[in-house]
Amino acid sequence: MSSAGRARFGLSHRPKPRLAPRRVGILGGSFNPAHAGHLDISRTALRKLGLDEVWWLVSPQNPLKSVSGMAPLAERLRAWQELTGKSIQLFVGDVTDYDFLASTIKTFEPDAVIHFAEQRAAPYSMIDRKHAVFTQVNNVVGTLNLLFALREHCPDCHLVKLGTMGEYGTPNIDIEEGYIKIEHNGRKDVLPFPKQPGSFYHLSKVHDSHNMMFACKIWKLRATDLNQGVVYGTTTDETLLDEALINRFDYDEVFGTVLNRFCAQAAVGHPLTVYGQGGQTRGFLDIRDTVRCVELACVHPAEAGECRVFNQFTEQFSVLEIAELVKAAGNKLGLDVEIDRIQDPRVESEQHYYNAKHSRLLDLGLKPRYLSDSLLDSLMDIAIRYRDRIDVSMFLPQVDWRKASNERRTVGEVTSSLVARV
Amino acid sequence: MSSAGRARFGLSHRPKPRLAPRRVGILGGSFNPAHAGHLDISRTALRKLGLDEVWWLVSPQNPLKSVSGMAPLAERLRAWQELTGKSIQLFVGDVTDYDFLASTIKTFEPDAVIHFAEQRAAPYSMIDRKHAVFTQVNNVVGTLNLLFALREHCPDCHLVKLGTMGEYGTPNIDIEEGYIKIEHNGRKDVLPFPKQPGSFYHLSKVHDSHNMMFACKIWKLRATDLNQGVVYGTTTDETLLDEALINRFDYDEVFGTVLNRFCAQAAVGHPLTVYGQGGQTRGFLDIRDTVRCVELACVHPAEAGECRVFNQFTEQFSVLEIAELVKAAGNKLGLDVEIDRIQDPRVESEQHYYNAKHSRLLDLGLKPRYLSDSLLDSLMDIAIRYRDRIDVSMFLPQVDWRKASNERRTVGEVTSSLVARV
């Protein structure tokens, strides 16, 4: 690594000789905050891939502030260092800044890049035109930049990209993993599975998927598109080491996922807010399985020229089924839990067929941790322990898909971004 | 129209009373130059839709200068006014400037918007990262802006959007018009036709299509996506009025289409440059049919909530078939025409199945003008008449799909854009 490169990244350690290059894994994400999954992925990658270092490439932070209290990133990194003896260094960067991204890729020649660095919330993208445009430009340009940086400087690197099951929408046929064999008028072909995404955010992921497929075709890049379901759970072995490492518990209507919101509502005696009929069915998975899926993708890389798609979830539930599970868990703890049905702020089918295939990660060795009573109990425990921090007014939807512009209470600025070295 | 609005658009005529609103058609495009198709569309729209005016909403100009001589836009507009007695006023705007676009839509409440205002060249988008990013951001943001402007200010307006047959790629099954009925594991659904676009430009059109489908679904907008084939021909009734109105004749490797390039090559005694095996098959149509297709879409608007797709071409040819036609036309004129096969700079199938449906515009009344000897003769005539302006060095491809960055001779700046009032 050149001294100019060091200065750019603000590193202080001595470079190793060029003849013995370090193997560096790069993990992209918003890291707002750095949480259990990031730490677990990084540790596992260090171990399983024989890496010398893992770098965190941090995207622009989520523009909406977290609604639950959490330790500042610096404090969390310090706690991590004290507990593990491993250091994490921070420096500034952004995947939409091509010079920064390309110089990182060029200097370290990673074997794999895990790209999580995108605006991640559907309701956020539906606030108004500016948020829709920001989401699509940020996500599409970030991924285009990464594809070009790999082509120019590291064409054999394996790109592991976070997509979403929401790219498929809810077709009336079985959802396959990325591609479908179609017989039509006596002829056959295997083609990209038709996409019917349900927000400008989900659309941005569809755009990314098409761009990735094309880049793999023309440049022989290798990529895995992880079409992830709804993640639940907050803790892994690492985060249980210290309270400062506990993941953020988003329960609000923009960044919170449905299971978290229901647990928070049950904890404070608020009715569970089911949107519409509640028949909306999606794939779900435990945060610890998320980490294993990324690991499995990395240790079994795609072939050169291949853009493969894994549907990354372990179980399907409808929203109403999730509500019933939370109600039962709350009742066990002596809580009185009601279920309300409110008007669906989204434009989506409230009752539909849903059967999505998800065998490719199982074939690679994934051992699913299914949603269990004990996991629900632990989520309820967290919600109850921190219930004084819960802001009830964040439960109800403030973003209506049918409106071109929505007023929200708190919309911060998209701030600068960070790179952390584990 | 408020005086502030008039000042913004630089208009000098007196506003009509608000109680008798004008019916204004808005035609988007690069208008670089304003050509036969634009004039014909505008005249036809004035007549058939009973419009009071047609406005031209001009996108950022093509960043590559035209390679053939042509009259400046101002001179062409003056010629048009002298010949027809109709005036065209010019003013500045850009569809990626939301305030400009929204105020235009809001003030005039058009019945239909014809959106051509996008970067239009596949090779241009493949020059390097900056050109790829510009193409996708420019096209996606422009269309997003238009969708939001219609939702906010004119939700009943019919959006007629220029897509491309290149969105489909070359699947091994029949290509349907936008959607396909799929039977899979005993269930059925009608889903968006799978897309396999072949450049970052074609990808931008796929992104647009997905965004449009979603906007129609959630906001009940009405849209027609015209998946256009390769256009040939340069003259219509209007442009034959005066030489100053003749369309630009692009034959270069970035903005020229294949038939034009072959005619130019035949005219100067250069071998016709077929890429690879020449089995690349595409849909083609006459420029006069392009105009009729847009007209048919406008007079038979889509339903509220409908995003329909028309495959807009009339005949299929392979590149080699086009070369043979030009060779025969040249021989008739006494020219010695050779056909060369050069390495394909694109990543594409050079021999493939291709059968694309195109019945919906025929059902609406399109009477195709098929590629004929007389049309080829007239194209050859133009190429021969202006052959002293032909720059032979522009024939050979300078953009290689397999490279991340290509050096080209002349790349200008993307300049400001214009709006013209017909």
- Please report residues of B whose CB lies closer than 8 A to that of A151: 404
pLDDT for the residue numbered B263: 94
SS3 assignment, position A358: coil
User: Degrees (nearest 5) of the Cα angle A55, B131, B55?
Assistant: 130
Q: Does B400 touch chain A (CB under 8 A)?
A: no
- Tell me the C-alpha to C-alpha distance, in Å, between residue B367 and each of B164, B293, B372: 20, 10, 14
CA B46 to CA B111: how far, in whole Å?
Answer: 12
Q: Does A129 touch chain B (CB under 8 A)?
A: yes
Q: Do A129 and B145 touch (CB under 8 A)?
A: yes
Tell me which residue has tokens 């340069």: B234
CA B90 to chain centre: 21
Among A44, A107, A135, A164, the one annotated catalytic: A164
Among B164, B170, B236, B273, the one annotated catalytic: B164
Q: Which two tokens stand for residue A63?
A: 């523009």
Q: Does B140 touch chain A (CB under 8 A)?
A: yes
Q: Residue A173: which of B188, B200, B217 has the nearest Cβ?
A: B188
CA A110 to CA A92: how far, in whole Å?
Answer: 19
User: What pLDDT digit, counting tens, does each position of B335-367 carry?
Assistant: 999 999 999 999 999 999 999 999 999 999 999
- Please report residues of B whose CB lies closer than 8 A to that of A183: 173, 183
**Residue in A with minimal Cα distance to B186:** A173
The one-letter amino acid code at A311 reads: N
CA A96 to CA A103: how far, in whole Å?
Answer: 13
CA A240 to chain centre: 21
Q: Do the Cβ atoms of A316 and A249 come closer than 8 Å? A: no
The DSSP code for B334 is: T
| B107 band by pLDDT with thresholds 50, 70 and 90 | confident
Residue among B133, B168, B205 with most chain A CBs within 10 A, to mutate:
B133
Q: Does B132 touch chain A (CB under 8 A)?
A: yes
CA B356 to CA A352: how far, in whole Å?
Answer: 32
Task: Please name every residue paired with A232 in a beta bridge, in sequence order, or none if there are none.
Answer: A286
Sign of CA dihedral B79, B80, B84, B85: negative
Q: Do B206 and A203 touch (CB under 8 A)?
A: no
User: What pLDDT digit, counting tens, does each position of B65-90 carry?
Assistant: 343 445 667 776 777 777 777 776 55
Q: Does B155 touch chain A (CB under 8 A)?
A: no
Share the mean pLDDT of chain B: 84
Q: Do the Cβ atoms of A274 and A340 come closer than 8 Å? A: yes
Chains A, B: CB contacts within 8 A come to 148
Q: Residue A192: which of B133, B180, B196 has the nearest Cβ?
A: B196
Instruction: Sort A240 into a burial class: Cβ within 10 Å, 0-12 / 13-18 / 19+.
Output: exposed
pLDDT for the residue numbered A52: 76
Q: Do B136 and A132 touch (CB under 8 A)?
A: no
Among B168, B201, B275, B354, the one annotated catalytic: B201
Q: Does B349 touch chain A (CB under 8 A)?
A: no
B60 versus A399: which is more confidently predicted? A399
Known catalytic membership, residue A164: yes
Q: Does B206 touch chain A (CB under 8 A)?
A: yes
| B247 band by pLDDT with thresholds 50, 70 and 90 | low
- Tell me the C-alpha to C-alpha distance, in Å, between residue A67 and each of A64, A253, A256, A393, A410: 9, 11, 10, 11, 10
B61 versus A404: which is more confidently predicted? A404
At residue B15, does pLDDT exceed 70?
no
- Which of A205-209, A241-245, B320-324, B400-404 is predicted with the least confidence, judged by mean pLDDT? A241-245
Q: Does B326 touch chain A (CB under 8 A)?
A: no
Q: Do the Cβ atoms of B132 and A143 come closer than 8 Å? A: no
- Please report residues of B whose CB lies closer than 8 A to that of A197: 210, 214
The DSSP code for A168 is: S
SS3 assignment, position B281: strand
pLDDT for the residue numbered B410: 52
Q: Which helix (H) or strand (E) holds B298?
A: helix B287-299
CA A358 to CA A362: how far, in whole Å?
Answer: 7
Sign of CA dihedral B278, B283, B287, B289: positive
CA B155 to CA B159: how far, in whole Å?
Answer: 10
Q: Does A193 touch chain B (CB under 8 A)?
A: yes
Q: Do A219 and B137 touch (CB under 8 A)?
A: no
Among A205, A224, A314, A354, the one annotated catalytic: A205
- Tell me the C-alpha to C-alpha distance, in Å, between residue B141 and each of A80, A101, A125, A169, B334: 42, 23, 14, 23, 50
Q: Which two tokens stand for residue A243?
A: 């309270």
Q: Residue B404: which of A136, A152, A183 has the nearest Cβ?
A: A152
Known catalytic membership, residue A65: no
Which residues numbered 208-227 in B keep a CB inside 8 Å of some CB on A?
Answer: 210-211, 213-214, 217-219
What is the maximal distance between C-alpha atoms in chain A? 65
Residues B249-257, mean pLDDT to the nearest whole number = 83
The DSSP code for B162 is: E
pLDDT for the residue numbered A58: 56
CA B22 to CA A348: how far, in whole Å?
Answer: 38
- Please report residues of A whose CB lies closer than 8 A to that of B174: 184-185, 187
- B100 CB contacts (<8 Å, ≥6 apart)? B8, B93, B94
At residue B152, does pLDDT exceed 90?
yes
Q: Does A304 touch chain B (CB under 8 A)?
A: no
Q: Do B353 and A187 touch (CB under 8 A)?
A: yes
B419 versus A106: which is more confidently predicted? A106
CA A205 to CA A199: how far, in whole Å?
Answer: 10
Q: Do the Cβ atoms of A397 and A71 come closer than 8 Å? A: no
Residues B5-32, mean pLDDT to the nearest whole number = 46
**Predicted confidence pLDDT, tens digits, chain A (422 residues):** 233 222 222 222 333 334 445 676 777 665 655 666 777 878 887 887 777 777 766 543 333 334 344 566 777 677 777 777 777 655 557 899 999 999 989 987 889 999 999 998 999 999 999 999 999 999 999 999 999 999 999 999 999 999 999 999 999 999 999 999 999 999 999 999 999 999 999 999 999 999 999 999 999 999 999 999 999 887 777 666 666 666 667 888 888 889 989 999 999 999 999 999 999 999 999 988 998 999 999 999 999 999 999 999 999 999 999 999 999 999 999 999 999 999 999 999 999 999 999 999 999 999 999 999 888 998 898 889 888 888 898 899 999 999 999 987 653 332 222 233 32
SS3 assignment, position B146: helix
CA A129 to CA A135: how far, in whole Å?
Answer: 10
Q: Do A404 and B172 touch (CB under 8 A)?
A: no
Closest Cα in chain B, distance from residue A152 (Å): 6
B247 versus A81: which is more confidently predicted? A81
Which residues numbered 85-104 in B keep a CB inside 8 Å of some CB on A?
Answer: 98
At residue B31, does pLDDT exceed 80?
no
Known catalytic membership, residue A130: no
